[in-house]
């Protein structure tokens, strides 16, 4: 089941959203298109709050006057109770009665009379600055009058309808400012799909009467995921309750999200402002559903110390115990943060689920032992990854790159345990009538239903027949990286002029004593052979020719570097009776988990390099076995379809055709 698309809201609701946005007609010319939302959104919030508080306004004003002597906390509680809401306003003014002569001061005073949580919304909207600009443009009174006439009372527009109206206004704002929209606004089709995947399978629990669930977004933006979750639950169970929680870094997006949640009757003190990674303001809280679209490929250098300290000092008691990705991309830090926020599975709670949108790099970046690989290892070995959906390119406002939805769960049903479903939805897009920034494609209802159907039904025959879905074991993405060594076999050329010149040009040669330099050059010139195939023999003869002059180890290593050369015909160099490895020939092999490394080595390596061996000193820190365990999810490889090259005849025909067209164009030019 899919939540409703806000774009398909009923006619009256859509008309109301359009009517409110039409205030932009007044702003045109004095304001940039990207500034419209910064005026229209806070005014919409203001009018809605005013209408919601209207029935209890007289009671609140009376108590505001009589409770002035009370302590602030006690007075606040009294006024909240009088308003019968999570906010109140103690001003006698409203939009219809601000006057004309002192409208700026009166409006400013009116906004400041809201309780703290509501007032904070307007502060983060930089509402006072917008009012200044409106006043300078002589538009403030006209805009106020426009909004004063909108009937946004709960009797005329329910919380649900008002939420849709506000989301439509947010969408229009994002479209009008699409240069930065992608940073704070996730396209609705992606929101709907991610929400549906995360809620899918929990229909039975969500339809129980009186159930209370929690939803969390650590990169809340304008609140799209939180709103979509509420819509989904409302369709399933009108008597259920979904409590929303979130945190957002951008003040303006935070204000929009907080306003949206306030309009929908949520406790807005659950929406926090700040950097989630460095300052988790909901520390210790866990949630039933977690949804997020973190920024793609954004570095975390500004908060590097805080995160590394948490990793080092708290380990697995903190959020980042499994590992840290490279500083240039913090996507996987958000994944680890969300995992720490999943509600644990108990007798009374089934557990938590996550839907997170990531770009391609978290799938495969980083080899065995790297921070990225260790994070993937933790996720897969703890059987948290349920599915990954590959989205079409050109789906987001500010980037056209490939993106993926990861679905995680700590209470996978029996048939999904130890399994991961991959769905390749890259070709399920339809074109948009008008591009919005980099967004040129969308997922229509048919595509959404197909994806959610494949995920939720989990039918083997249907998955196989679809051609776009495959089920894997979690271990299929793991491997053991073994280090393959080959012996050092050096041939020496003591009389080669070019090698002697390279020896003397080496910086290490300059550090040797002058007498030693002269003795070495003299000894090399007196060798009987031009080529020696044994390091032992070369050193023995060189020592004899040097006589009483001792040959330091660094000097001999320098000679091996410049006079010696790897040669398969040469004798194996040994150290303490064991073959010495040539670091220049060192290689790695990734052995699939579950396969014996020695069997793999005998089959894949020895037939090509019979003298190679496995370095058994390189062991995994966690299991102690030979080889370093790594994990990667090569999504595209699993869905790759070979396309044979075009025939030469076909290519020649196309070239002839193009050549004829060029000649015809040239003939037209000359005629």
Burial class (CB in 10 A: 0-12, 13-18, 19+), 398: middle
- pLDDT given at position 7: 45
Q: State in Å, rounded, how far the first CA of the chain is from the last one.
A: 66
Mean pLDDT of 570-596: 94
Cα atoms in the 13 Å half-sphere on the side-chain side of 292: 30
d(CA 380, CA 383): 5
- pLDDT given at position 136: 92
User: By 3-state DSSP, what share of the chain in percent is helix, strand and coil, each rounded to 5?
Assistant: 50, 15, 35
pLDDT at 201 > cutoff 80: no
Is residue 555 in a domain? yes
pLDDT at 284 > cutoff 70: yes
Least-confidence region, from 236-245, 312-321, 363-372, 382-391: 236-245
User: pLDDT tier at 205 (50, 70, 90 boundaries)?
Assistant: low
- pLDDT given at position 10: 54
pLDDT at 112 > cutoff 90: yes
Q: Domain ends where: 579, 594, 613? A: 579
- pLDDT given at position 211: 82
What is the span of the domain harbouring residue 56? 1-177
pLDDT at 395 > cutoff 60: yes
Q: Which residue has the higher pLDDT, 365 or 221?
A: 365
Helix-helix angle 36-53:11-21, to 10 degrees = 120
Is residue 18 in a domain? yes
In 90-158, which ranges are continuous DSSP H helix? 103-112, 116-124, 127-136, 140-148
Is residue 648 in a domain? no
User: pLDDT tier at 99 (50, 70, 90 boundaries)?
Assistant: confident
Residues 246 and 216: beta-carbon distance below 8 Å: yes
Mean pLDDT of 228-238: 81
Least-confidence region, from 181-190, 258-267, 536-545: 181-190
Residues 6+ apart with CB under 8 A from 202: 350, 353
In 200-330, which ranges are continuous DSSP H helix? 203-206, 224-236, 251-263, 304-314
Residues 631 and 383: beta-carbon distance below 8 Å: no
User: pLDDT tier at 383 (50, 70, 90 boundaries)?
Assistant: very high
- pLDDT given at position 260: 83
Q: Domain ends where: 549, 579, 609? A: 579
Tens of pLDDT, residue by residue over 645-668, are 888 888 888 898 989 889 888 887
d(CA 456, CA 22): 41
Tens of pLDDT, residue by residue over 27-42, are 998 998 888 888 999 9
- pLDDT given at position 464: 86
d(CA 659, CA 667): 12
Q: What is the mean pLDDT of the chain?
A: 89
d(CA 344, CA 610): 52
Residues 6+ apart with CB under 8 A from 74: 67
Tens of pLDDT, residue by residue over 174-194, are 767 654 444 446 788 898 899
H/E segment holding residue 244: strand 241-248
- pLDDT given at position 185: 65
User: pLDDT tier at 417 (50, 70, 90 boundaries)?
Assistant: very high
Mean pLDDT of 90-96: 93
- pLDDT given at position 8: 46
Largest CA distance in the chain: 114
d(CA 504, CA 344): 68
d(CA 307, CA 277): 7
- pLDDT given at position 1: 53
Looking at the DSSP bridge assignments, the partners of residue 627 are 619
- pLDDT given at position 287: 96
Is residue 245 in a domain? no
Tens of pLDDT, residue by residue over 43-69, are 999 999 999 999 999 999 999 888 888
d(CA 258, CA 269): 9
Percentage of the chain exceeding pLDDT 90: 64
CB atoms within 10 A of CB 90: 19
pTM of the model: 0.84
For residue 459, give the 3-state DSSP assignment. Answer: coil
- pLDDT given at position 647: 83
For residue 85, give the 3-state DSSP assignment. Answer: coil
Mean pLDDT of 382-393: 96
Helix-helix angle 116-124:251-263, to 10 degrees = 140
CB atoms within 10 A of CB 137: 15
Closest to 98 (Cα-Cα) out of 128, 62, 132, 140: 140
3-state helix/strand/coil string of 593-608: CCCCHHHHHHHHCCCC
pLDDT at 514 > cutoff 80: yes
d(CA 413, CA 93): 57
Residues 6+ apart with CB under 8 A from 529: 494
Is residue 636 in a domain? no
How many structural domains does the chain have? 2
Helix-helix angle 127-136:36-53, to 10 degrees = 110
Q: What is the CATH number of the domain that holds 59?
A: 1.20.1260
Is residue 275 in a domain? no
User: pLDDT tier at 2 (50, 70, 90 boundaries)?
Assistant: low
Could you tell me whether strands 478-485 and 587-592 are parallel, antiparallel, or unpaired per DSSP bridges? Answer: antiparallel
Is residue 472 in a domain? no
pLDDT at 3 > cutoff 70: no
Q: Domain ends where: 522, 552, 579? A: 579
H/E segment holding residue 375: helix 371-381
Is residue 127 in a domain? yes
Mean pLDDT of 592-598: 94
């Amino acid at each position: 089941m899919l939540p409703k698309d806000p774009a398909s809201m009923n006619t009256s609701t859509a008309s109301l959203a359009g009517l409110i946005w039409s205030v932009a007609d007044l702003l045109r010319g004095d304001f940039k298109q990207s500034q419209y939302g910064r005026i229209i959104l806070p005014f919409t919030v203001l009018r809605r709050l005013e209408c919601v508080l209207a029935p209890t306004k007289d009671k609140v004003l009376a108590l505001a006057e009589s409770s002035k002597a009370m302590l602030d906390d006690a007075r606040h509680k009294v006024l909240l109770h009088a308003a019968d809401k999570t906010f109140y306003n103690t001003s006698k003014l409203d939009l219809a009665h601000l006057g004309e002569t002192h409208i700026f001061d009166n409006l400013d005073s009116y906004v400041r009379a809201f309780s703290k949580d509501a007032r904070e919304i307007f502060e983060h909207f930089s509402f006072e600055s917008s009012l200044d600009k409106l006043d300078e443009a002589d538009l403030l009174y006209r805009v106020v009058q426009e909004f004063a006439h909108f009937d946004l009372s709960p009797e005329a527009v329910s919380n649900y309808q008002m939420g849709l109206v506000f989301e439509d206004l947010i969408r229009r704002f994002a479209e009008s400012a699409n240069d930065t929209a992608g940073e704070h606004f996730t396209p609705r089709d992606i929101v709907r799909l991610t929400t549906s995947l995360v809620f899918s399978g929990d229909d039975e629990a969500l339809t129980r009467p009186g159930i209370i669930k929690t939803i969390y977004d650590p990169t809340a933006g304008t609140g799209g995921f939180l709103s979509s979750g509420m819509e989904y639950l409302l369709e399933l169970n009108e008597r259920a309750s979904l409590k929303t929680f979130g945190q957002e870094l951008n003040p303006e997006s935070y204000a929009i999200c907080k306003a949206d949640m306030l309009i929908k009757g949520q406790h807005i003190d659950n929406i926090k402002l700040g950097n989630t990674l460095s300052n988790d303001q909901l520390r210790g809280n866990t949630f039933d559903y977690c949804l997020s679209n973190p920024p793609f490929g954004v570095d975390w250098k500004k908060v590097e110390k805080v995160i590394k300290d948490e990793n080092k000092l708290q380990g697995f008691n903190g959020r980042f115990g499994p590992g840290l990705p490279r500083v240039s991309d913090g996507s996987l830090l958000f994944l680890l943060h969300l995992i720490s926020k999943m509600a644990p599975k108990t007798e009374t709670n089934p557990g938590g689920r996550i839907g997170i949108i990531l770009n391609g790099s978290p799938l495969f970046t980083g080899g065995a032992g790297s921070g990225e690989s260790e994070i993937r290892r933790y996720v897969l070995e703890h059987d948290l990854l349920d599915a990954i959906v590959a989205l079409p390119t050109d789906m987001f406002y500010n980037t056209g790159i490939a993106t993926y939805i990861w679905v995680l769960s700590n209470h996978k049903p029996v048939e999904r345990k130890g399994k991961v479903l991959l769905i390749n939805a890259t070709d399920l897009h339809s074109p948009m009538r008008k591009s919005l920034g980099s967004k040129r494609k969308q997922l229509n209802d048919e595509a959404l239903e197909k994806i959610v159907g494949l995920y939720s039904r989990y039918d083997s025959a249907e998955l196989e027949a679809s051609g776009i879905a495959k089920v894997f074991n979690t271990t299929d993405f793991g491997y053991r990286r073994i280090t393959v060594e080959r012996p050092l076999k050096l041939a020496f050329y003591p009389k080669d002029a070019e090698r002697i010149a390279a020896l003397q040009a080496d910086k290490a040669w300059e550090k040797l004593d002058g007498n030693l330099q002269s003795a070495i050059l003299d000894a090399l010139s007196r060798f009987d052979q031009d080529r020696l195939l044994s390091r032992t023999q070369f050193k023995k003869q060189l020592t004899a020719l040097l006589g009483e002059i001792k040959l330091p180890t660094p000097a001999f290593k320098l000679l091996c570097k410049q006079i010696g050369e790897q040669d398969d015909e040469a004798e194996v160099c040994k150290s303490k009776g064991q073959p010495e490895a040539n670091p220049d020939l060192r290689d790695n092999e990734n052995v699939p988990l579950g396969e014996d490394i020695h069997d793999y080595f005998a089959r894949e390596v020895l037939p090509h390099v019979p003298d190679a061996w496995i370095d058994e000193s390189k062991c995994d820190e966690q299991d102690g076995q030979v080889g370093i365990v790594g994990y990667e999810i090569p999504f595209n490889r699993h869905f790759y379809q070979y396309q044979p090259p075009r025939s030469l005849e076909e290519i020649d025909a196309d070239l002839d055709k193009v050549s004829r067209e060029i000649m015809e164009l040239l003939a037209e030019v000359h005629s």
